[in-house]
Each structure stands twice: as structure tokens, then as C-alpha cells.
Amino acid sequence: MLKFFSTIALVSTKNNILLLSTTPSSSSFSFSSSWGPSPIAKHYYPSFSFSKFFSTSTAFDKQSFTISYLINSCGFSPQTASNVSQTITLSNSQKPDSVIAFFTTHGFSYSQIRLILTRKPKLLLCKDPNKLLLPKFQFLLSKGASTSDIVRIVNANPKFFLRSLHDHIIPTYHFVRGFLKSDKQTITCINCYISESLRRIESNVKLLLDNGVSHSNIARLLHRRHNILCFHHLWNTVEELKQLGFNASTSPFSVAFLAKRTVNKAKWDHKVETFKKWSWSDQHILQAFKKQPSCMLLSVHKINAIMTFWVHHLGLDSLDLARAPGILKGSLEKTIIPRASVVQFLVSKGLRRKDASIYLPFVVSEKVFLKKFVNGFEEYSSDLLKLYEEKMNLADSRNGLQPGVNQVDQVLG
């Protein structure tokens, strides 16, 4: 039979110091929870008895019980339990047991329950989970959410269960859905708006609409950045983009808006310096941003990779990409390199006019590219298709790149 030696530990609280003593115990641990040992606890703790060290008040007794419950039934560490006991007080295990039981029967893992309760311990005070929590669960189910969707939403934002169903969750859901036109898409982003005031969201939307931003553009913003309507000072960004010549009713505006709102100054400046390293001036950067605002959403790594290939492997001018920044949107391995191989083949066979656009092959859709630059040359179409597919397949292969070999060099073969 496994035995434990008695140990003593001091746990500091806001107003007191608790003396925690563990007593010898058999291998079958005992827990304070009335519904038995909880597998929620990451580690099984021996039974704790709490001695009054500085106080014998009833409040102190309740705090001792709260800490004991949080450790033994929720898997909190002693220090976390002590901190949480400053925000909630448990008189008995009835309410918190019913809350934990609710979570376990609705698809939440024990580690997820512990994390949720650590972030929002007030959930343990819920009087009747079936009346207060279940209707919120059922509302999302009625909109097509799966149990795993709801688990994801609550994990991301446990405040979901603390908000009023009729005063906040339902109105917010329908407001956001009014732009996305889809329950599936609304469910994907609704957790971002649970913590926000509906009044602020409505105010931001009104500001955008009053400044000419179309409903479709707001929908695009929600697709790309779910919490975009929670941001402050949106008017400043709208005005800045208008002054740059962006039309608020067009799709480039939404991309530019996203870039301005999500790329912080340090990262923006870093990207500007990266472009300048490739001989772009401030005017070139502005020109590219106005033509293709997504260029400022690219990582510095991707910018450098495409520039390196364009300049050093193709021998072209970096300013070509300032004139046609849409090329930067494409995948280097799956778009630019395979298409460049086809174009180089055509040039080697004298099948490209000298005045042919160097940009077009890299910006058209794949369907148009195959029709115009592969199948359009009947004599060589099979060779061109084989070359194109080889480069595409090599890009897809995760194990095809040899250690120590530059990826661009190997894809070029």
C-alpha cells in the first residue's frame, strides 16, 4: 500500500497565509468533491487539510474550502487556486460540481475545462447550468454549429457563457450574419465579438457605411480578419486611404484597410526597407500599394524570396514587380517558378515575341495560362505540360528537397 509522508506548505492569499498540510494516505486518493475523484486534475493531489493560521473567521473557512476544491476538483495548482479564491468564494461543492458535469457531458476535455475555469472562474458560481449555459449551447447548435465548433468558441473566449443570450449573443450573431450571409461563416468568427459591446460594433459599421464602404467590402474584411469591427479609430484609416485615392466601394479598399489596420508600424517600416533594398523608391512602394495593397501583407521572407528569384534567376529588373505587384501575390514554388520555366522554354524556342508582356504569364488564372502558354503551342504542348507539371509536383513534394540545397535551385532543376 502506497503511503505519503506528511508535508506542510504555506500558501499566501490576499489577507492571510494558509497552512496546507498533507496527511499520510493510501494509494487511493480522497477528494473534497462530492461526486468523487475528478480526472480533471492533471496530477492527483493527496487530501489537503487547511489549518487556520491567522484567522478563525467563517470567511476564512470558505476561502479554505474554495482553495481545496479548486485544487482537488479542478486541477489548479495551489498558487493558482489561492489567486482565484480572491475572486470567487465557494460555500459547498453543489454548484461547481454541476458546472463541471455540464462541461464534461458536452464535449469538453478535462484540460479544456481547467483552462476555461482558470480564465473565467465565475462560471463555477452558476446556479443552474441547464438553465443558464445550455440555452447558449443550443442556440449555436440550432445555427448549424457542431459540438466541436462550440468547444472551439468557448475555448477561445470563455466569456461566451457569461454573456446574456437574448441581450447580447443573439443580437450580435444576427448583426454579423447580416454581412456574411452564412451561418457557417458567422459561427467561424462570432467568438471575436462575444466580448465586445454590440454598440461599438454597430457604431464602427455605421462609420464605414457612412464613408462609402460597401456591405460587400465589410463582408470581405470580416472574412479576412474576424475581429476587424472591434478596432478603435477606424475613421482615421478610412480618411488616410481616401486621401491616397482608394475608392471605399471597391475591393482593393478592403485589402488596403486590412493592411493598414493589421500591420504595425515596426513591421510596416521593415517591409518598406526590404523593398528599398531591392531598389524601390518611396514612390515605387506607394505605386505598388495602390495597385496591389496586399503587397504590404506579405512576409519579408516571401518578398525577399520572390525578388531573389526574379532578379538573380530570371535576370529581370526588380522594378518590374513595382509595375506589376500582383505577381507578388503568387506562390513562388507553385506559380512563379513553374510558369517561369514554361516562359523560358518558349523563349529558347523563339516562340515569344520580343515585345510580349513579361507580366501576363504570372498574373492570369491557371486555366488561362495553360490555354495560352501551354496548349496554345501545339507542337510543344506535351513537352510544356510535362515541364509545368514536373515543377508543380516538385513544389508539392515535402520530401523532394535535398538537405542543404537551396529550394529555388532545386525546383528549377
pLDDT at site 8: 42
pLDDT band at 259 (very low <50, low <70, confident <90, very high): very high
Kindly tell me the sign of the dihedral angle through the C-alpha atoms of 62, 7, 84, 12.
positive
Q: Rg for the chain (alpha carbons), in Å?
A: 30
- pLDDT score of 5 more than 80: no
The average pLDDT across 61-83 equals 91
User: For the chain, what is the largest distance between any 2 Cα atoms, rounded to a whole number of angstroms?
Assistant: 96
The average pLDDT across 57-80 equals 85
Burial of 378 (0-12, 13-18, 19+ CB in 10 A): exposed
What pairs with residue 19 in β-bridges?
Answer: 10, 51
pLDDT at site 278: 98
Three-class DSSP category at 130? helix
Neighbour count for residue 380 (Cβ, 10 Å): 16
Between residues 16 and 256, the one the model is more confident about: 256
- pLDDT score of 12 more than 60: no
Q: What is the mean pLDDT of the chain?
A: 84
- pLDDT score of 405 more than 90: no
157/139 Cα distance (integer angstroms): 16
- pLDDT score of 233 more than 90: no
- pLDDT score of 413 more than 90: no
Residues in the chain: 413
pLDDT band at 277 (very low <50, low <70, confident <90, very high): very high
Give the global pTM: 0.71
Which residues, in sequence order, are CB contacts of 200 under 8 Å at separation 6+? 230
List, for residues 101-153, the tens digit of each pLDDT value.
Answer: 999 999 999 999 999 999 999 999 999 999 999 999 999 999 999 999 999 99
pLDDT at site 46: 43
59-73, 194-208, 250-264, range with greatest mean pLDDT: 250-264
- pLDDT score of 188 more than 60: yes
Q: What percent of the chain has pLDDT over 90?
A: 68
Residue 379 C-alpha cell reads as 507542337
pLDDT at site 20: 53
What pairs with residue 49 in β-bridges?
Answer: 21
- pLDDT score of 263 more than 50: yes
pLDDT at site 60: 60
